[in-house]
């Protein structure tokens, strides 16, 4: 077999390193019968193009951020809800691994579009950057924040009276530099790797959302594979859960220090207090109702299932 695996990031970053390791393990397990070409971001187009190619089957495997399928799979916009997952990233990963709402129900929604999410995994908590301090919802009034192309991400920022602007990340460095947008959200490792901190003066540790990525396979391609090959893939997916977790954990920690110590590009790092976060949470909660009403017939059911699972994981 000769398959393609597309990622949304560059060599050295979490998604690419995950994909390279995944490919290596499959090659070994199959005694060289499975070979994969791993693509960096841009190799096959932008984030939305990549998702479309996976749906069409011209690419077999990929890592996809649900934000780039926001206009295709309505219920998948659930990941755009702020303050949904626990602050504890390890617990969040456990929920992503075990959730029936995601691994059964949402998977079916994706499969209607010929994409099978084999795993959901965290790339870390998201933080804000801007050229001004971002500490209160008022700071977001009229603030042009770059977002991925998902309507519910827009709604989440409109709840703070911000002005969300969908853009692919390939244009974001220049966009921030030239003031086309005022700020953005991402996990710390990515902010540093993409150099956003070079063109932003402030970073707020807000932990307002969790960055979820999905390991995805084209549904028809996967279903037509011999059972033993499917099993090999599934087994590798299981092994990769810990690898992916550790990759983001190490990189998010390492690059926080790099940002803090980069004297050539000083960035003021500010961590929101729990009270400050509460002000955002209050405004974010009603977006859940918007999701229930506007994101497909099963949005409410999937959200309720996930909320129950989150409660249970937190021991409530």
Q: Using CB under 6 A, which of 69, 127, 148, 207 touches ligand 6CS?
A: 148
CB of 63 to ligand 6CS, least distance (A): 8
Planar angle of CA 234, 237, 241, nearest 5 degrees: 145
Residue with tokens 């400050």: 276
Nearest to 84 by CA among 316, 276, 315, 309: 309
For the chain, first and last CA: distance in Å?
Answer: 47
Count Cβ neighbours within 10 Å for each residue of 21-34 and write b for 16 or more, e otherwise: bbbebbeebbeeeb
**Which residue lies nearer to ligand 6CS by CB, 140 or 255?**
255
Per-residue x/- track, 219-248, ligand 6CS (CB under 6 A): ------------------------------
Q: Using CB under 6 A, which of 5, 6, 8, 121 touches ligand 6CS?
A: 8
Q: Using CB under 6 A, which of 79, 120, 211, 280 touches ligand 6CS?
A: 211
**C-beta separation of 219 from 156 below 8 A:** no
Per-residue x/- track, 103-142, ligand 6CS (CB under 6 A): --------------------x-------------------
Residue with tokens 């011209």: 58
**Residue 123, helix vs strand vs coil:** strand
Of residues 42-101, those binding ligand 6CS (CB under 6 A): 47, 65
Neighbour count for residue 232 (Cβ, 10 Å): 18
CB of 48 to ligand 6CS, least distance (A): 10
Alpha helices by DSSP H, listed for 85-177, are 89-98, 100, 107-111, 151-158, 172-177
**Which residue lies nearer to ligand 6CS by CB, 205 or 229?**
205
Of residues 162-191, those binding ligand 6CS (CB under 6 A): 169, 186-187, 190
Contacts with ligand 6CS by CB under 6 A lie at 8-9, 47, 65, 123, 148, 169, 186-187, 190, 211
């Amino acid at each position: 077999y000769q398959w393609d695996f597309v990622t949304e990031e560059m060599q050295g970053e979490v998604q690419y390193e995950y994909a390279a390791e995944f490919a290596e393990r499959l090659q070994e397990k199959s005694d060289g019968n499975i070979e994969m070409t791993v693509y960096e971001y841009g190799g096959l187009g932008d984030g939305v193009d990549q998702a479309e190619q996976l749906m069409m089957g011209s690419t077999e495997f990929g890592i996809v951020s649900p934000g780039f399928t926001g206009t295709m799979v309505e219920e998948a916009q659930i990941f755009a809800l702020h303050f949904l997952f626990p602050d504890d990233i390890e617990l969040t990963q456990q929920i992503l691994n075990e959730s029936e709402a995601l691994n059964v129900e949402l998977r079916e929604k994706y499969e209607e579009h010929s994409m099978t999410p084999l795993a959901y995994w965290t790339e870390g908590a998201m933080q804000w950057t801007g050229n001004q301090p971002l500490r209160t919802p008022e700071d977001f009034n009229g603030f042009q924040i770059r977002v991925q192309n998902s309507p519910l991400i827009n709604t989440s920022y409109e709840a703070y009276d911000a002005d969300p602007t969908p853009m692919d990340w390939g244009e974001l460095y220049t966009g921030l530099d030239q003031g086309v947008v005022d700020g953005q959200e991402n996990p710390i490792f990515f902010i540093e790797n993409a150099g956003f901190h070079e063109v932003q003066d402030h970073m707020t540790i807000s932990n307002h959302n969790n960055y979820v990525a999905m390991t995805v396979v084209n549904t028809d391609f996967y279903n037509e594979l011999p059972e033993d090959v499917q099993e090999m893939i599934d087994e590798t997916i299981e092994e990769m859960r810990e690898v992916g977790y550790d990759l983001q954990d190490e990189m998010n920690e390492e690059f926080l220090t790099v940002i803090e110590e980069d004297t050539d590009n000083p960035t003021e790092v500010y961590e929101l207090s729990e009270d400050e976060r509460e002000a955002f949470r209050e405004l974010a909660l009603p977006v859940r109702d918007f999701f229930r009403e506007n994101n497909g017939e099963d949005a409410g059911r999937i959200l309720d299932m996930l909320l129950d699972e989150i409660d249970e994981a937190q021991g409530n």
